[in-house]
Structure 1
Amino acid sequence: MPVTREQEIWALTLSVERKHGENGARYIAQRVTAFEQSGPPEAVALWRQVQRRYEQLSPTSKN
């Protein structure tokens, strides 16, 4: 069964959480900023999607 785009984004999100722990939000914000400054718009969009999903993992999330 092929992996969906949604599954890819969640896989990246969970990878960031495992690798960066409580610094994950900062890491994601740095990626967004870096791509906003000199990257393709698709990369900015991807990392913003990761950011939204990462926020859903937070115990203080309002979702």
Structure 2
Amino acid sequence: MISIDFNNGIVQATPVAGAAATDAVSRLVLGMTLNEWFYVSAILYTFVMTGLAVYKAIKENKPKE
């Protein structure tokens, strides 16, 4: 929630409860933080996309009998 006081020029922001809850739940699964989950998912995505690219290249360049 954001609170703005135009008279004094103050802006206050409080964290959303959902973000804190998401962080707490993510720590329960294998004990990793949200940042660590991002890195793991990026690495897995890279491996999967590389594997698919190699598979498609081999499939398209396979000699016909």
TM-score with structure 2 length normalisation?
0.30
Greater share of helix: 1
Q: With CA pairs under 8 Å and 6+ residues apart, which has the higher RCO, 1 or 2?
A: 1
More strand by share: 2
- Which has the higher Rg, Structure 1 or Structure 2? 2
